[in-house]
Amino acid sequence: MKNKLALITGASSGLGAGFARELAMQGHDLFITARRLDRLESLKKEIEQNYTVRVHTFSADLIDPNGVNNILGELKKQNLEVDVLINNAGFGARVFLLDKQPDDWDNIIRVNVNSLVALTMGILPTMVKNQKGQILNVASTGAFQAVPWLTVYAATKSFILSFSEGLGAELKDQNINVQVTCLCPGPTRTEFHSLADAENIDFPDFAWMESDEVVKIGLNALEKNKRVCIPGTYNKLSIYSQRLIPRNLTTSIVGNMHKPNNK
Ligand SMILES: NC(=O)c1ccc[n+]([C@@H]2O[C@H](COP(=O)([O-])OP(=O)(O)OC[C@H]3O[C@@H](n4cnc5c(N)ncnc54)[C@H](OP(=O)(O)O)[C@@H]3O)[C@@H](O)[C@H]2O)c1
């Protein structure tokens, strides 16, 4: 029987590479994409040595307005149908809004939001036609409230959470058998924090999770068709406890945690 095919964005490091390893272990063929092709190629080599699955690599920049179309074009060229879509690529910047240029924020919104919607729209029609498919969108615990100093990033993650919940409900209402899960990790050890200038945020040690653990919890939630998944006890408690306190107070607490040293 043919293996299922999983498409993973942002597979060159961190959670994305973890999703690739885990889904390959479960017997999925992979279509892995990111900008750094050398990383994708070495991951392909590692995975194909360990598992009897096929790995397709494809370099695409999701800041580029043609990035998603290039991915969809490659799928078409190779006659590949995606069974599992992991919208994982994303990045942020921890800095006062006016200390970046509009284009910098635009780039974050393009990768985190525009490309996620465009790729979902490109792949969903086949899933709907086949009456099967799974979509895992990676948001963040930052989706549940404003995160001052990571304001634009957190707003993109709120979009992903709302988009996933809305789309999941639309599909369910129409009895379309395509699952949508939104994974909302908290602090996870990947390259994310150094790239976002967010290394010295004052999270307690026990708040940090390993990326492999987050990946397993996320895929398990997708398998169980959970709409929203917050991995880890610290993350769950910090999100659920917000329901008991005023929003302004939450914003202020979160802002104090994320404030850069030079501000
Ligand atoms: N780590 C955390 O604490 C944490 C917490 C909550 C949510 N998240 C979310 O988890 C997801 C994965 O991040 P991570 O933690 O694994 O960080 P990471 O190690 O920095 O991985 C980010 C991935 O996104 C890709 N990417 C970035 N810009 C891109 C672009 N312009 N075009 C295509 N791909 C691009 C990167 O690949 P290239 O650079 O090779 O293009 C990389 O593979 C992100 O959506 C992030 O927001 C992370």
CA of 83 to the centre of ligand 1 (A): 22
Given a contact cutoff of 8 angstroms between Cβ atoms, the answer to whether 91 and 157 are in contact is no
Residues (pLDDT < 70) of the chain are none
Look up the CATH superfamily of 5-258: NAD(P)-binding Rossmann-like Domain (3.40.50.720)
Task: Give me the residue spans of the domains in the chain.
Answer: 5-258
pLDDT the model gives residue 261: 85
- The model's pLDDT over 163-200, given as tens digits with 9 standing for 90+, comes to 999 999 999 999 999 999 999 999 999 999 889 888 88
CA of 261 to the centre of ligand 1 (A): 24
pLDDT the model gives residue 45: 98
CB atoms closer than 10 angstroms to residue 28: 23
Does the annotation mark 51 as catalytic?
Answer: no
Q: Which atom of ligand 1 is nearest to the CA of 15?
A: 16
pLDDT the model gives residue 200: 81
- The model's pLDDT over 94-112, given as tens digits with 9 standing for 90+, comes to 999 999 999 999 999 999 9
Q: Which residues line ligand 1 (CB under 6 A)?
A: 10-16, 34-36, 61-63, 88-91, 111, 138, 140, 185, 187-188, 190-192, 195
CA of 192 to the centre of ligand 1 (A): 6
If you take atom 8 of ligand 1, which residue's CA is the nearest one?
A: 140
Which residue in the block uniquely carries the two structure tokens 């099967």? 132
Is this structure's pTM higher than 0.95?
yes
With b meaning 16 or more CB within 10 Å and e meaning fewer, what string describes 58-73?
A: bbbbbbeeebbebbbe
pLDDT the model gives residue 166: 98
pLDDT the model gives residue 114: 98
